[in-house]
Amino acid sequence: MIGKTIGEEEDRRNQRKQTLIDEISDRLINGDMATKIQAAREIRSMIRNRNSAGKIRVKFAGAGAGVIQPLVLMLCSQHHDAREVSLLALLNLASRNDRNKEQIVTCGAIPPLVKLLKFQTTGNLRELATAAILTLSASPNNKQAIASSGAVPLLIQILSCGTIQGRVDAVTALHNLTATKEEPAIVLDSAAALPLINLLKECKKYSKFADKVTGLIRILSNTDEGRLAITKAEDGILTLVETVEDGSLVSTEHAVSVLLEMCTSSRSKYRELILNEGAIPGLLRLTVDGTHEARDKARLLLDLLRESTAEKRMSSLVVEKMVHEIAAQVEGSTVETAQILLQDMVQRSMKMR
């Protein structure tokens, strides 16, 4: 009997909840603008403040309620509050629900979001639109639509002039769009180099954010224009060298890839620039402590930095062997101190050239 009573009470709660969802949906679809705005606020509130938020997202987006299309239409309104509350409601509907993310794009949300990125230079609408692009870009099926929408150049602009949160969201959205093997791959304009370098300067080199920023810089380094823009940015190469020294496994791998790409593309142009920023110590550490890819690239880069046509080739395997031999022979020495000793030897050798 008690179990039956509890079950009946649960059924009544679910029925009341469904009735409320149906009422809010009806007001959103059929009401005047003031009514629609209030309904959008209630949608957001119900999702944010309920333990069963996941189920409520599904119910609001389902065939019976169908609130996504009217919310997308509100994005095109000239009424500021209508755009704001619809953005907030859509963000809550999209959170942790790929099906809703895809439905929002299918219903035509991308063009009005791009318009907000382009023309809303003040207030919070552009920041909310950036957050929406970020959220939607997390779904693999949405990436192509976003990549071809004209959003990428606008996200790059936000890297320079957006709010702090807007810049973080823009970086993450761009990272999401590049994290795919499917075409079309997005093209990053070289104009992104300066703001990305500046963001990397300001953040902790071992953070997840640094991982994303260095990943984007790595993409830029694949073109002549991108490499040149990185070097023209104030302390561009130095910032990458510092990331090699202090970054996470991911960010150091990206940073050494950029430096190697530079030196491989034009050793005569980039070798001295990289050497002058003191890259050797970090690269030596990376040959021991980095990921497999980072170790290999650090060795290759060390070869390129040390060699000249008149010099005898010293392979990176010999460098690593020297590090461990020094550590073994010097009493109380560690690999790290051996790397410092080897660095001093290399620097003295280079000064004698």
The pair of three-digit structure tokens given for residue 80, joined into one six-digit string: 């500021």
Q: Using CA atoms, how far apart are residues 122 and 196, in angstroms rounded to an integer?
A: 22
Q: Using CA atoms, how far apart are residues 320 and 335, in angstroms rounded to an integer?
A: 10
- CA of 75: how far to CAs of 107, 246, 266, 279, 325, in Å? 11, 43, 48, 49, 66
Cα dihedral 259, 262, 267, 273 sign:
negative
The pair of three-digit structure tokens given for residue 101, joined into one six-digit string: 């993310």
> Tokens 């709010």 label which residue?
163
Is the domain of 182 the same as that of 204?
no
Residue 115 lies in a domain: no
Contact assessment for residue 58 and residue 97, using Cβ atoms and an 8 Å cutoff: yes
Cα–chain center distance at 341: 38
Contact assessment for residue 92 and residue 44, using Cβ atoms and an 8 Å cutoff: yes
Is the domain of 221 the same as that of 320?
yes
Q: What share of the chain is helix, strand, coil (3-state, %, to 5)?
A: 75, 0, 25
Instruction: Give me the numbers of helices (H) and strands (E) for the chain, helices first please.
Output: 21, 0
Is the domain of 352 the same as that of 203?
yes
Is the domain of 348 the same as that of 259?
yes
Q: What is the per-residue pLDDT for 315?
A: 44
We report the CATH number of the domain holding residue 305 as 1.25.10.10
Residue 114 lies in a domain: no
Q: Is 8 left (phi over 0), alpha (psi -120 to 50) or beta?
A: alpha
Is the domain of 61 the same as that of 103?
yes
Q: Using CA atoms, how far apart are residues 323 and 112, in angstroms rounded to an integer?
A: 58
Residue 50 lies in a domain: yes
Residue 283 lies in a domain: yes
For the chain, percent of residues with pLDDT exceeding 90: 69
Give the per-residue SS3 of 65-104.
CCCHHHHHHHCCCCCHHHHHHHHHHHHHHHCCCHHHHHHH
Residue 192 lies in a domain: no
Which of 187, 207, 223 marks a domain boundary?
187
pLDDT lower than 70: segments of the chain: 1-4, 6-7, 50, 63-65, 120-123, 182-185, 307-353
Full domain range(s) for residue 161 = 124-187
Q: What is the per-residue pLDDT for 264?
A: 95
Which of 132, 166, 187 marks a domain boundary?
187
pTM of the model: 0.83
Distant-in-sequence, close-in-space partners of 223: CB < 8 Å, separation ≥ 6: 190
Is the domain of 38 the same as that of 58?
yes
Is the domain of 229 the same as that of 139?
no
Is the domain of 38 the same as that of 172?
no
Contact assessment for residue 57 and residue 100, using Cβ atoms and an 8 Å cutoff: yes
Contact assessment for residue 202 and residue 168, using Cβ atoms and an 8 Å cutoff: no
Give CB contacts under 8 A, 24+ apart, made by 308-311.
308/353
Amino acid at 227: R
Distant-in-sequence, close-in-space partners of 315: CB < 8 Å, separation ≥ 6: 299, 303
The tally of CA atoms less than 13 A away on the side-chain side of residue 246 is 13
The pair of three-digit structure tokens given for residue 190, joined into one six-digit string: 């070289």
Q: Using CA atoms, how far apart are residues 303 and 314, in angstroms rounded to an integer?
A: 7
Contact assessment for residue 268 and residue 232, using Cβ atoms and an 8 Å cutoff: no
Q: Using CA atoms, how far apart are residues 140 and 235, in angstroms rounded to an integer?
A: 35
pLDDT in tens, 309-322: 434 344 444 455 55
Which of 142, 162, 187 marks a domain boundary?
187
Is the domain of 205 the same as that of 338?
yes
The pair of three-digit structure tokens given for residue 169, joined into one six-digit string: 């969201």
Residue 103 lies in a domain: yes
Is the domain of 201 the same as that of 219?
yes
pLDDT in tens, 29-48: 999 999 999 999 999 999 98
Q: What is the per-residue pLDDT for 312?
A: 39
Residue 353 lies in a domain: yes
Is the domain of 133 the same as that of 239?
no
Is the domain of 204 the same as that of 134?
no
Structural domain tally of the chain?
A: 3
Residue 301 lies in a domain: yes
Q: What is the per-residue pLDDT for 322?
A: 53
